[in-house]
Amino acid sequence: MTADLLARSGPLQSWTDRFAALPDTVQVVATPHVAMADLRVDPAGPAAADVAGFLGVDLPTAPSTYVETDSVRVIWLGPDEWLVTSPFRAPRALEAGLRDAVAGRGAVVDVSGQRTTLGLAGANARDVLSGGCAIDLHPAVFRRGAAAQTLLGLTGVVLVALDDTATSYEILVRSSFAPYLASWLLDAATEHTPT
Amino acid sequence: MQLITCPYCGPREEAEFHYGGQAHVPHPADPGSLSDEEWAHHLFFRDNPRGPFAERWVHALGCRRWFNAVRDTVSYRFHHIYRLDQARPETP
Ligand SMILES: [Zn+2]
């Protein structure tokens, strides 16, 4: 069976060496294969409560925020739309579990292949982002719990703040734009690279 | 660059938004009964005021939600921004 011989790979697999050469103050790591499901449901309806029961956390209703448990992160995408991500659950299991909870009162679609995940960390992480992102990234307003859909360079991303000190982020980018964003990040990191 | 205040996400750069033309254009109740001329008017004819204009916008690169705005076509100033389920505010 030829299919069994195909190795799992991510869209940024060939970038590993270039990421590894970056300085400590701008660390980039590609994290492929994170399960992601797009959830559409009425936040005030009974389905939202059943989804919250399944996920173990209430759906966030404040724009540009996320909540998380030990196993899932729930990112606000719109007033009736969320992105549920998990590196620990299989995509189909995540989709099936959400679909059972929604029970026809909304929509759940596995979108694991749509985006790939980049980790960006280090003392200059915020400086790098600021060069291509217009939203206010000051940790007083963009900190752990914040997740914004916006432009970074010339591509749309979901930008997730992981800490309160502007030194750790996750960037969710569409897989076909990932090489563009990777080269943009490497270019933006150049000015922070000791010569 | 001009900032536009998405009713959900707050102020974002204009580049994240797309324009959707005149707001509050009702779809004909019975399109089949219209003459070709009346149908063409519904599809293609829009107001083009000098001053406040109620328009549709979409936060295309953010939350991807449509909303309405009253914008001054001379100054580009947004006078009102309101959700689709909110009534059109009084315009000056
Ligand atoms: Zn928005």
Distance (angstroms) between ligand 1 centre and the Cα of A132 equals 19
Does residue B81 form part of some domain?
A: yes
CA B13–ligand 1 middle distance (angstroms): 11
Rounded to the nearest angstrom, the minimum Cα separation between A1 and chain B is: 42
Which of the two residues, A6 and A48, has the higher pLDDT score?
A48
Tell me the whole-structure pTM to 2 decimals.
0.93
- Mean pLDDT for B9-24 is 96
If you average pLDDT over residues A96-125, what whole number do you get?
Answer: 97
Length in residues, chain B? 92
B12 SS3 class: strand
Q: Which residue does chain B place closest to A83, by CA atoms?
A: B63
- In a domain, residue B11? The reply is yes
Q: Give DSSP secondary structure letters for A53-119.
A: HHHTSPPP-STTBEEE-SS-EEEEEETTEEEEEESSS-HHHHHHHHHHHHTTSEEEEE-TTTEEEEE
Radius of gyration (Cα) for chain A, nearest Å?
A: 17
Contact A177, A151 (CB under 8 A): no
Question: Quick check: is B30 in a domain?
Answer: no
Percentage of chain A beyond pLDDT 90 is 92
Report yes or no on B82 lying in a domain: yes
Count of Cβ atoms closer than 10 Å to residue A135 Cβ: 24
Query: What pLDDT score was predicted for residue A9?
Result: 83
Q: What ipTM was predicted for this assembly? A: 0.89
For residue A149, what is the nearest residue in chain B, using CA coordinates? B62
- In B1-92, where does DSSP find H-type helix? 36-44
Going from the Cα of B18 to the center of ligand 1, the distance in angstroms, rounded, reads 11
| Structural domain boundaries enclosing B12 | 1-24+48-92
- Report residue B1's pLDDT band, with 50, 70 and 90 as the boundaries: confident
Task: Please give the domain boundaries of chain A with CATH numbers for all domains.
Answer: 12-32+115-189 (3.30.1360.120), 35-110 (3.30.70.1520)
User: Out of A2-16, A25-39, B4-18, B70-84, which region has the weakest mean confidence (pLDDT)?
Assistant: A2-16
**pLDDT confidence bin for A130, thresholds 50/70/90:** very high
Looking at residue B39, what is its pLDDT?
Answer: 97
Q: By percentage, how much of chain A surpasses pLDDT 70?
A: 98
- The CATH number given to whatever domain includes residue B19 is 3.30.2270.10
Q: How many domains does chain B have?
A: 1
Residue with tokens 């659950």: A89
Residue B92: band (very low, low, confident or very high) from pLDDT cuts 50, 70, 90: low
On whether residue B41 sits in a domain, the answer given is no
Cβ–Cβ of A134/B1 closer than 8 Å? yes
User: Quick one: which of A52, A36, A55 has its CA closest to A44?
Assistant: A52
B13 in any annotated domain: yes
Mutation to test the B interface, candidates A38, A42, A114, A150, most B Cβ within 10 Å = A150
- Quick check: is B12 in a domain? yes
